[in-house]
């Protein structure tokens, strides 16, 4: 992995400056639905295609942002501050 990622604050940087934060998910709001809870905790979508995910610029501004990336080609389709993806 050596693709470039556009930090909304710092610009294009090599991916090894960043920490991956996983897929953008939605937390369940209770423990009643076990299936929903365990799905959220342990089952990732792991799509082959465009995926929305969290990134932390650990060797830069140390801010979180979101990216949309094609998991097949590592092409980064867009990046934005949290919640700002088109």
Partner 1 sequence: MTRLAERRGELIDRTTPVTFGWRGEQVTGLAGDTIASALFDAGVRVFSRSFKYHRPRGLLCCAGQCPNCLVQVDGEPAVRACMTPAEPGMQVDPINAWPSLETDVLHAVGRATPSFGMQVGFYYKTFIRPRWAWKYYEKFLRSAAGLGKLDPAHRRTERFEKVHRHVDVLVIGGGESGLEAAIAAARDGRETALVDEGLALGGRLAFCGIAAAGRAADLVAQAEEAGVEILSPAWAGGVYEGKLVPVYQGNTMYRFRAGEIVVATGVVEQPLVFGRNDLPGVMLGSAARRLVNQFRIVPGERAVVVTADDLGIDAACDLAEAGMEVAAVADLRERDEDERLAMCGIEHLTGFAPVEARGRSEVTGLVVARGSERQTIQADTVVMSGGTVAQWGLLVQAGGSVRYDRSRRVYVPDRVPDGVRVAGEAVGTERAVPAQAEAAGGKQFVCYCEDVTTKDVHLSVSEGFASLELSKRYTTVTMGPCQGRMCHRNSGLLMARELGVDPDEERVGVTTARPPHNPTSFSLLAARGYEPEKRTAIHHWHAESGAKMLWAGDWKRPYDYGGAEDETAAVHESLGLIDVSTLGKMIVRGPEAAAFLERIYPNRYGDMKLARVRYGIVCGDDGSILDDGTVARLSETEYYVTTTSSGAGGMEQWFTWWNAVWGMDCQIVNVTSAIAAVNLAGPNARTALGKLTDFDLSNEAFPYLGAGHATIAGVPCLILRIGFVGELGYEIHYPTGAGEHLWGELMGAGEEYGVKPFGLEPQRVLRLEKMHVIIGQDTNAESQPLEAAMPWIVKLDKENDWIGRYSIEWYQRRGDRFALVGFEGQNGSVPKEGAQIIGAGGMPVGRVTSSRFSRRLGKSIGIAWLPAASSEEGTPITISDPSGATIPASVRRSAFYDPEGALLRS
Binding site for partner 1 (CB under 8 A): 1-4, 14-15, 19, 21, 27-31, 34, 37, 40-42, 54, 56, 58, 62-65, 74, 82-83
- When the beta carbons of 4 and 50 are compared against partner 1, the nearer one is 4
- When the beta carbons of 44 and 62 are compared against partner 1, the nearer one is 62
**Max CA separation in the chain (angstroms):** 43
Minimum gap (Å) between residue 79 Cβ and partner 1: 13
8 A C-beta contact, residue 58 and residue 21: no
DSSP three-state, residue 35: helix
Minimum gap (Å) between residue 47 Cβ and partner 1: 19
Geometric angle at alpha carbon 73, from 46 and 55, rounded to 5°: 60
């Amino acid at each position: 992995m050596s693709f470039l990622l556009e930090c909304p604050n710092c610009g294009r940087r090599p991916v090894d400056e960043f920490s991956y934060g996983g897929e953008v998910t939605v937390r369940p709001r209770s423990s009643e639905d076990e299936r929903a809870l365990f799905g959220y905790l342990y089952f990732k979508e792991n799509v082959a295609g465009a995926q929305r995910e969290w990134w932390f610029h650990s060797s830069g501004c140390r801010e979180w942002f979101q990216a949309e990336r094609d998991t097949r080609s590592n092409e980064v389709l867009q990046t934005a501050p949290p919640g700002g993806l088109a």
